[in-house]
């Protein structure tokens, strides 16, 4: 099953007349079944957020494969989001692995550099239909 970018997930939620989308931070793979159980029980789309540290520890590809597998078996529209990442190379790794949404966090930089880096991330993500927060 494909992973939805955030804009696509919003469209699903709107079509189903949902006022909110469950978005959960994943710290270990054992949490995944509970996320999908809750989403399935409420017929809700699902956003799974992962920190860079967790993605690097568990493995970007393993996360994508695990989430895709559960999304398909549970028939839940799902967005896999790399959250608050300050490293453009890690964002590229996540996108290459199949993440469908990323958030660039340049809050530690001066405004001009933050904007320039956010634009770089948008350019990278746009080519792969990945949504970006920044």
What digits encode the pLDDT tens for the residues 13-49?
999 998 889 999 999 999 999 999 999 999 999 999 9
Task: Give yes or no: 83 in active site.
Answer: yes
- Domain CATH number, residue 62: 3.20.20.70
Q: Is the model's pLDDT at 1 over the cut of 90?
A: no
Give how many domains the chain has, as a whole number. Answer: 1
Q: Is the model's pLDDT at 134 over the cut of 90?
A: no
Q: Is residue 74 part of a domain?
A: yes
The rounded distance, in Å, linking the Cα atoms of 50 and 120 is: 21
Two structure tokens written together for 20: 């909110």
E-strand spans in 3-134? 22-26, 46-51, 78-85, 101-104, 131-133
pLDDT tens column, 92-121: 999 999 999 999 999 999 999 999 999 999
Report whether 49 contacts 23 (CB < 8 A).
yes
Task: For residue 63, give its domain range.
Answer: 23-133
The rounded distance, in Å, linking the Cα atoms of 131 and 40 is: 23
83, 96, 105, 112: which one is catalytic?
83
């Amino acid at each position: 099953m494909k992973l939805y970018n955030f804009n696509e997930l919003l469209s699903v939620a709107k079509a189903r007349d949902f006022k909110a989308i469950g978005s959960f931070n994943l710290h270990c793979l054992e949490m995944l079944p509970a996320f999908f159980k809750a989403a399935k029980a409420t017929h809700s789309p699902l956003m799974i957020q992962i920190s860079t540290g967790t993605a690097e520890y568990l493995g970007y590809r393993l996360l994508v494969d695990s989430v895709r597998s559960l999304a398909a078996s549970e028939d839940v529209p799902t967005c896999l989001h790399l959250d608050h990442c300050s490293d453009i190379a890690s964002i590229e790794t996540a996108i290459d692995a199949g993440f469908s949404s990323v958030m660039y966090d340049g809050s530690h930089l001066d405004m001009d550099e933050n904007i320039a880096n956010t634009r770089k991330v948008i350019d990278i993500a746009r080519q792969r239909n990945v949504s970006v927060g920044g």
